[in-house]
Chain A
Amino acid sequence: AQSVTQLDSHVSVSEGTPVLLRCNYSSSYSPSLFWYVQHPNKGLQLLLKYTSAATLVKGINGFEAEFKKSETSFHLTKPSAHMSDAAEYFCVVTGPHTGGFKTIFGAGTRLFVKA
């Protein structure tokens, strides 16, 4: 079975300060993990993905995430927030692509960026 928990429903940061969006997962198999971003009135855009290669994954717009198996975490970070980062972020888990696993979406974390 697989599950994903985003630990914060809302995160507020000031522009120029670091961003941390937390995600814990549970998986009986070697997981694939993703972060998606959804800006207002837009679809979900892939930020980055982990598929058992390097544990530190770099994505678009300066975001990165680290896969920590011992902590079952895949937290999303960015060194310096920009106003354009204000959006909703979804952590996603699935299994290996050949296994027909379901894709499980987290409930989302809304990021607010203050000027």
Chain B
Amino acid sequence: DAGVIQSPRHEVTEMGQEVTLRCKPISGHNSLFWYRQTMMRGLELLIYFNNNVPIDDSGMPEDRFSAKMPNASFSTLKIQPSEPRDSAVYFCASRPNRDNTIYFGEGSWLTVV
């Protein structure tokens, strides 16, 4: 089975540019998560969707960040405008309704210069 698929794997962008990260969850999984990982703050939950509906977005840092899940097989995390402090690894993860195991993608490495 294909795992959680994220793109791009690596992105280097200039401050002020818009960044869009994409995620395809595992087929049949009802929950989708976006996490951010940095050396300073570790792994942080940004937002959590269930059945395409945002359930908890309390971790979204500020208005520059937005996330959408237009259907069960696709989600985006957008940063506009990007800042150097947004440099991090962004993980997408999904979970089936039948249990509480979270499955992670390989991550998107974002560098904002």
Residues of chain A lying within 8 A (CB to CB) of residue B102:
34, 92, 103
Alpha-carbon distance A49/B109, docked complex (angstroms): 27
Closest to A108 in B: B42
Residues of chain B lying within 8 A (CB to CB) of residue A90:
43
Point out which of A42, A43, A96 has the most chain B C-beta atoms below 10 A from its C-beta.
A43
Minimal beta-carbon separation of B64 from chain A (angstroms): 24
Contact B106 A42 (CB under 8 A): yes
Which one of B11-19, B65-73, B74-82, B93-101 contacts A?
B93-101
Contact A46 B103 (CB under 8 A): yes
* Interchain CB contact (< 8 A) of B101 among A41, A49, A96, A105: A49
Interface bin, chain A: 20 to 34
Contact B91 A44 (CB under 8 A): yes
Closest to B102 in A: A103
Alpha-carbon distance A44/B104, docked complex (angstroms): 6
B107 within 8 A of A: yes
Alpha-carbon distance A12/B71, docked complex (angstroms): 45
Alpha-carbon distance A32/B91, docked complex (angstroms): 22
Closest to A94 in B: B100
Q: Contacts A34-B101, A94-B100, A103-B102; is A43 near B107 (CB within 8 Å)? A: yes
B105 within 8 A of A: yes
A107 within 8 A of B: yes
Residues of chain A lying within 8 A (CB to CB) of residue B56:
102
Q: Contacts A43-B91, A49-B101; is A105 near B42 (CB within 8 Å)? A: yes
Q: Contacts A90-B43, A105-B42, A105-B43; is A43 near B106 (CB within 8 Å)? A: yes
26 contacts between A and B (CB under 8 A): A34-B101, A34-B102, A42-B107, A43-B104, A43-B105, A43-B106, A43-B107, A44-B91, A44-B93, A44-B104, A46-B101, A49-B101, A51-B99, A51-B100, A90-B43, A96-B100, A97-B98, A101-B100, A102-B45, A102-B56, A103-B100, A103-B102, A105-B42, A105-B43, A108-B42, A108-B43
